[in-house]
Structure 1
Amino acid sequence: MKALVNPDLYRPIVRIIDDEETVRNSEAFTLRVVGLETACYATAEEFLEKDDLRYPGCIILDVRMPGMSGPELQQEINKRGIDLPIIFLSAHGNIGLAVDTLKRGAKDFYEKPVEPEKLRETAARLVEENLQARRKQYETQRLHAQYEALTNRERMILKLVAQNLSNKVIADQLQIQEHTVKIHRGNACHKLNIRTALEVHQFLTRIGELD
């Protein structure tokens, strides 16, 4: 699992990637009016080189730019596993292109000039979605780290507990004393702050240790 940082330590940023300075400035002003922080890049290459991906948010991406185009950047973003949602903007209406970018994961595709209110609403929504997704990933990673800190025996017993097996049955399967199972089970549950077999099952499912 890729190491994540606590997203709440980083203020969300809307990345604006467009080769036209007037467009970048206009979109940035539109978003800052409602309190959305922005970062502007003139090229896709500049974004890839300089952007700090620890900051959650979203991307407003022009289709046609010198060098790497918007769709080409989208493919690179997907290749690198960058989770920032994309809003495409294009001065040239192209249904086929819009469909292709949406199939590759873009969230919206608008023709320029886009209505300021629509841009603000979409950007704010995607910023919040990205922030919530990162919070969920971060919490899952935190819980998984707690699980990995358990002993091998504790992890083994928890997986059997998740099957709703009794201490006696677990002891028979592992060929150990039932009292030993109780001790390991109690220690593991205490470390994870869970108690019941149902909670164990839910915990292991959440961190991907159960199908």
Structure 2
Amino acid sequence: MTTMLVRLVDDDEELLKSTAFLLRMAGFDVLTYASAESFLELDDATRPGCLVLDQRMPGMTGMELQEAMVERSETLPIIFLSAHGDIPMAMQAVHRGAEDFLVKPADPQVLIEAVRKACEKSIEAASEGAETDAVALIAQLTARERDVAEGVAKGLLNKQIADELGISLVTVKMHRGNVTKKLGVKSAVAIAELLRRAGSGAGAVR
């Protein structure tokens, strides 16, 4: 499983270093950004994890970064960690989807637990997304293509699949070609994984 990545965004260099050290000791991968702008430019939003975000920074503020992420439909969980927060600001951040709003200096264990919960939520969302994608891919297959895909996933040779399904070898090859084209994968292992995910995401896909 991919290690959860915590992104820290703060213009305080010393705080970035100390918080990054704390979270790495807790087992997380950590990347630090000195500004909201650099985070937006450089971060890989596809990797599960969370964002620990300061509010008051030169240029784009933490709240403005959160708003930009909402506009871009990015779902990375956000934890605000700021010395410049109040109740209305915290309520607004949470209303927009932030997981938590902590006041500096946060208790280390409170921060670690908040990060852990946010990362777990991100992992669950990524897993659900993968299952949904797999369901959509498998749904493209015809009933016979699905039969052939299941044979390939079992590691059967084309001739064995033909014998098992009572169809010609040429027909198996044709269906197998359609399967790899529709699913975008060629190996038996990859086809088996997509079938497994589709089963997890929709019970019985068929």
Residue 110, structure 1, aligned to residue 102, structure 2: yes
Aligned to 1:12: 4
Does the 8 Å contact 2:55/2:85 carry over to 1?
no
Q: Distance in 1 between matches of 2:142 and 2:106?
A: 53
Letter in 2 for 1:14: V
Aligned to 2:137: 145
Q: CA RMSD in A?
A: 2.3
Residue 122, structure 1, aligned to residue 108, structure 2: no
**Where in structure 2 are there 5+ consecutive unaligned residues?**
147-193, 196-201
Q: Distance in 2 between matches of 1:203 and 1:99?
A: 42
Residue 96, structure 1, aligned to residue 92, structure 2: no
Indicate the SS of the match to 1:52.
Answer: coil
Letter in 2 for 1:47: F
Q: Distance in 1 between matches of 2:109 and 2:82?
A: 17
Please report how far the alpha carbon of residue 150 of structure 1 lies from its aligned counterpart in structure 2 after TM superposition: 2.9
Residues 125-150 of structure 1: CA distance to partner in whole angstroms, max 9, x if unpaired? 11111111101110111121000233
Q: TM-score, normalised by structure 1?
A: 0.67
Please report how far the alpha carbon of residue 110 of structure 1 lies from its aligned counterpart in structure 2 after TM superposition: 0.8
Q: TM-score, normalised by structure 2?
A: 0.68
Letter in 1 for 2:86: N
Letter in 1 for 2:37: E
Please report how far the alpha carbon of residue 93 of structure 1 lies from its aligned counterpart in structure 2 after TM superposition: 3.5
Aligned to 2:42: 50
Q: Where does 1:16-35 land on structure 2 (aligned, <5 Å)?
A: 16-35=8-27
**Where in structure 1 are there 5+ consecutive unaligned residues?**
1-7, 155-191, 194-200, 205-211
Aligned to 2:30: 38
Q: Match for 2:55 among 29, 43, 63?
A: 63
Please report how far the alpha carbon of residue 92 of structure 1 lies from its aligned counterpart in structure 2 after TM superposition: 2.1
Q: Distance in 1 between matches of 2:141 and 2:133?
A: 12
Residues 70-93 of structure 1: CA distance to partner in whole angstroms, max 9, x if unpaired? 000001111111111000011124
Does the 8 Å contact 1:11/1:55 carry over to 2?
no
Indicate the SS of the match to 2:79.
Answer: strand
Q: Distance in 2 between matches of 1:41 and 1:12?
A: 17
Does the 8 Å contact 2:3/2:28 carry over to 1?
no
Q: Match for 1:74 among 66, 73, 87?
A: 66
Residues 24-60 of structure 1: CA distance to partner in whole angstroms, max 9, x if unpaired? 1111011011111100000011001111122110000
Question: How many residues are matched?
Answer: 152
